């Protein structure tokens, strides 16, 4: 059972946001570089299959879980990054990645996030009436972290960057931003 573990104890409360916006490899890279984001984890959410895996997702979407410090970065700002980082009008995919697992979803935790997500979707839709924003907004039920080889995938493909951050042990790298 690979359900997400709670974040480690901090001297300040972290918040968690989960988004699906195409390939989780690219999504993780987009959010992981933001000031105030403490940790990113790629995984699966939005489906009914227990314990999904990359080759057997069921009806889940590739997603990124973002642990962030709300004193440094707001949920509204994360929503802005979400909208600017993918084509929310493309049905079931992003660019060359096509399929149900690449759909656009904002997973919410509570009514405040749900309200902010809905307002941001309305703003995004108002930018163009000629096509419909296909992004779904739904409460987060369960986030399943993806297998270790998918964590920090883009970073692992850049050896010079790994060297710059000190060649962290694999487990430490996977739990980083």
- Per-residue pLDDT tens for 89-109? 777 766 667 668 889 999 999
* pLDDT score for 148: 75
**Higher model confidence: residue 57 or residue 98?**
57
- Per-residue pLDDT tens for 117-154? 999 999 999 998 888 999 999 999 999 998 777 687 55
- Rounded CA-CA distance 18/135 in Å is 13
CATH number (3.30.1060.10, 3.40.50.2000, 3.20.20.150, 3.20.80.10) of 15-174 reads 3.30.1060.10
pTM: 0.80
- CA nearest 105: which of 76, 63, 59? 63
Domain ranges of the chain: 15-174
In sequence order, the 6+-apart residues with CB closer than 8 A to the CB of 38 are 7, 10, 14, 67, 68, 69, 177
User: How do strand 104-108 and strand 93-94 relate by DSSP bridges?
Assistant: unpaired
- According to DSSP, residue 56 is labeled B
């Amino acid at each position: 059972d690979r359900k997400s573990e709670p974040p480690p104890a901090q001297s300040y409360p972290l918040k968690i946001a989960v988004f699906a916006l195409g390939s989780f490899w690219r999504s993780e890279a987009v959010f992981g570089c933001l000031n105030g984001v403490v940790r990113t984890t790629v995984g699966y959410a939005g489906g009914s299959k227990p314990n999904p895996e990359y080759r057997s997702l069921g009806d889940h979407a590739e997603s990124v879980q973002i642990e962030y410090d709300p004193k440094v970065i707001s949920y509204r700002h994360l929503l802005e990054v979400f909208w600017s980082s993918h084509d929310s009008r493309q049905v079931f995919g992003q660019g060359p990645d096509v399929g149900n697992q690449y759909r656009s979803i904002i997973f919410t935790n509570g009514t405040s996030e749900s309200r902010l997500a809905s307002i941001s979707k309305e703003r995004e839709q108002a930018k163009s009436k000629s096509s419909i924003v296909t992004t779904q907004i739904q409460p987060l039920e369960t986030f399943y972290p993806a297998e270790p080889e998918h964590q920090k995938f883009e970073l692992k493909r850049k050896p010079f960057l790994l060297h710059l951050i000190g060649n962290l042990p694999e487990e430490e790298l996977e739990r980083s931003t």
